Structure 1
């Protein structure tokens, strides 16, 4: 059976209205989003894409931290984007919101300086994790950064047991690669370099990991004899 074009927040559409409350109490949201924001370090003039932006909380944080940055939130779910737009409007912020699939991003190659994603990849099958990462690689500029916050390998048996609550809600098929700690491997397979787990947080629902990786910069042209060619 084909996968749906998008996964509603908390996996079921009727739970969307409770998404922010649930995330706040189950993921240590304030802690992990602050850590992710520090890792991204947004700057004015940067073009930043939040893939699977959900209700827009982190995209709004990015814009508040760097008002001169161009921040775009993308999600396949119209309902969460309605909430996201309202958050931005109430904060007096101008963000772009795009309803589209992460498996076929509607942007040209090398469009963004950075791509962020939080609590999105555990909703995707192994194949679609790879497809989404390949699309992110495509739309990042050379040297661009990828930042992910998502469920990772549990740090101990207690965290593994706690993660069963996430698997029961979001499904075992899409979460098994997260619990196996495979996200860094999949990120590297998509062509990223310098992939690392930068932080691991214990939460009421398991271990939440932060990852960082880079799209390789353009190679410096060289002569056949190995000398670097100067730009003209």
Structure 2
């Protein structure tokens, strides 16, 4: 689930690199620390309906379900190849996750379905227009009082982080990643109707500054 319109770019940009996705992300983005912080921030509990948006190989969904086996876990991505890896990962772990294939701006879920939506390293792939459409779609499927929690690139904390982020921009595009550099995710979620939108913790990585965002749908 990686690109702006009716198409998507595979993980790491090329289908042939998809099998390397977990290793690359784990080595370069402080994945375990960032995703565990995102899970903790989400305030999960038994009985909640949770969605992992743009789930990739399913790491976040599997970790959530392992820690909270009594919640209902769904996950969605547009890439059928990476969903195959995600299903295998969940099956190997003996964990039940409801996987679906769809674009972020046209999700196959009813209004007010989820208590929480989590997403990691996704929004920076999207054009501004599709970021807006995706944010509105998330507002639609989240329950009143429900929450959105996002981990993605943020404003660089220093010149080194800005320089390192050039690699991400060369790989994923300057226009769409520029929204993250400019701090536009907070106003993006606010414009979609969310309240209490905040950027919380940040993490410096080999490719730049990662930030955690949270937002609430009014009850």
Mapped to 2, the partners of 1:173 and 1:14 lie a distance apart of 25
Question: What's the TM-score once normalised by structure 2's chain length?
Answer: 0.96
3-state DSSP of counterpart to 1:90: helix
Mapped to 2, the partners of 1:178 and 1:41 lie a distance apart of 25
Which consecutive residues of structure 1, in runs of 5 or more, have no partner in the other structure? 218-232
Aligned partners of 2:51 and 2:74 also within 8 Å: yes
Mapped to 1, the partners of 2:198 and 2:173 lie a distance apart of 26
3-state DSSP of counterpart to 1:102: coil
Which consecutive residues of structure 2, in runs of 5 or more, have no partner in the other structure? none
- Within a 5 Å distance, the mapping from 1:107-126 to structure 2 comes to 107-126=109-128
- For 2:7, which of 5, 8, 14 is the aligned residue? 5
Write the deviation string for residues 150-169 of structure 1: whole angstroms up to 9, x where unpaired: 00110111100000011111
Write the deviation string for residues 76-122 of structure 1: whole angstroms up to 9, x where unpaired: 00011111101110111111000011111111100000001100101
Q: Work out whether 1:154 is the aligned partner of 2:162.
A: no
Mapped to 2, the partners of 1:61 and 1:202 lie a distance apart of 22
Query: In the TM superposition, what is the alpha-carbon distance from 1:171 to its structure 2 partner?
Result: 1.0
Q: Work out whether 1:189 is the aligned partner of 2:202.
A: no
2:57 counterpart residue number: 55
1:163 counterpart residue number: 165
- Within a 5 Å distance, the mapping from 1:101-112 to structure 2 comes to 101-112=103-114
> RMSD between aligned alpha carbons?
1.0
2:80 counterpart residue number: 78
Question: What's the TM-score once normalised by structure 1's chain length?
Answer: 0.91
1:229 counterpart residue number: none
| Corresponding residue pairs, total | 216
Mapped to 2, the partners of 1:21 and 1:68 lie a distance apart of 29
2:21 counterpart residue number: 19
2:30 counterpart residue number: 28
Mapped to 2, the partners of 1:209 and 1:4 lie a distance apart of 27
Runs of 4+ that moved beyond 6 A: none
Query: In the TM superposition, what is the alpha-carbon distance from 1:10 to its structure 2 partner?
Result: 1.3
1:206 counterpart residue number: 208
Query: In the TM superposition, what is the alpha-carbon distance from 1:37 to its structure 2 partner?
Result: 1.1
The structure that has the greater radius of gyration is 1
Higher relative contact order (CA 8 A, sep 6+): 2
3-state DSSP of counterpart to 2:202: strand
